[in-house]
Amino acid sequence: MTGLALKKIRAGFFSGEIQASYDHPRLLQALAQLPELTRSGEAEIILESRNRLVALNLPLNEAEEREVVVKEFRPRGVAKLREFFTGSKAKRSFYGALILIRRKIPTPEPIGYLEGNLPGQGKVGYYLSLRLKGVEEIRFLWRRRPSEALRPLLEQLASFLRSLHWQGVWHRDLSDGNILVKLKSPGCFEFFLLDTNRLRLRKKVGRWRAVKNLIRLGIPFSEQTFFLQKYLGSSSVPFPLWLWYRLSKIAYTNWVQIKKKLRLRTLARRLGG
């Protein structure tokens, strides 16, 4: 892992920070061209949504190019006002990743962030990290593995998340899409946390709050008690805690369904109007 010394930079319309070990003229020159590069034929689109995610080969120094994931943020409406108080999502993503690294919690290696105003486009932010190889979102393992084959994965995931909470790290969207998994050897997994702009540090993450933080994970119903046992480090789950988990999970699932219906109705009105 590279050092954690930081360097303030300017690149084209943008300013930001990078890890000092990445401070090289070739990279800075490429960063100044990010608006064009992220929409060029060289960019592999990973996600085209509210925030755009692409992969690019960028020069890190004179001799080395690496595949870099660039997450693009374009705040709108209330989000612009919120960023005045909280800092940009690009900056929070970078500092969130540094929080994890300092606690030895795996996450894609952060390079830096940039933010600035593009003529005619408004404020834009970019967060850059090295692309991981041989990983996949944990959601795909839920679907692909039979229930009984999930237990080694669940036990190790529970240990990973317990360590996260024990160190006071709170992820506001601890969901399947934000955990990557690498199979290191048969039955041995490594986990990586994404969406680091949603991290918060707390003095303590209490048991009830921690258990509620697990409800967005798509763990099969038949394995939820086993997972909670491993997370709690206990041979059983106290009934009040189990009930809290189940009711919170049901409420969250219903809320997601309501939001989906509202989005579909809004889309239908736009298409019909």
Among residues of the chain, what percentage have pLDDT more than 90? 77
pLDDT for 144: 83
Compute the distance between CA of residue 189 and CA of residue 182 in angstroms, rounded to an integer: 6
Strand order across the beta sheet in which 65-73 lies: 6-11, 14-19, 110-118, 122-130, 65-73, 52-59, 44-48
Phi-psi region of 233 (alpha: psi -120 to 50; beta: other; left: phi over 0): left
pLDDT digits (tens, 9 = 90+) for 247-264: 999 999 999 999 888 876
Report how far apart, in Å, the C-alpha atoms of 273 and of each of 79, 260, 262, 268, 269 are. Answer: 27, 20, 16, 8, 6
Bridge partners, residue 181, by sequence:
136, 191
Which pLDDT band holds residue 239 (cuts at 50, 70, 90)? Answer: very high
Residue 12 has pLDDT above 90, yes or no: no
Q: What is the mean pLDDT of residues 236-257?
A: 96
Q: Tell me, what's the pLDDT at 87?
A: 77
pLDDT in tens, 155-196: 999 999 999 999 999 999 999 999 999 999 988 999 999 999
Q: What is the pLDDT of residue 2?
A: 45
Share of the chain above pLDDT 70, in %: 92
Asked if the model's pLDDT at residue 273 lies above 60, the reply is no
DSSP 1: -
Please report the pLDDT score of residue 1 as a whole number: 43
Task: Tell me how many degrees the CA angle 155-161-166 measures, rounded to the nearest 5.
Answer: 125
- pLDDT attached to residue 134: 95
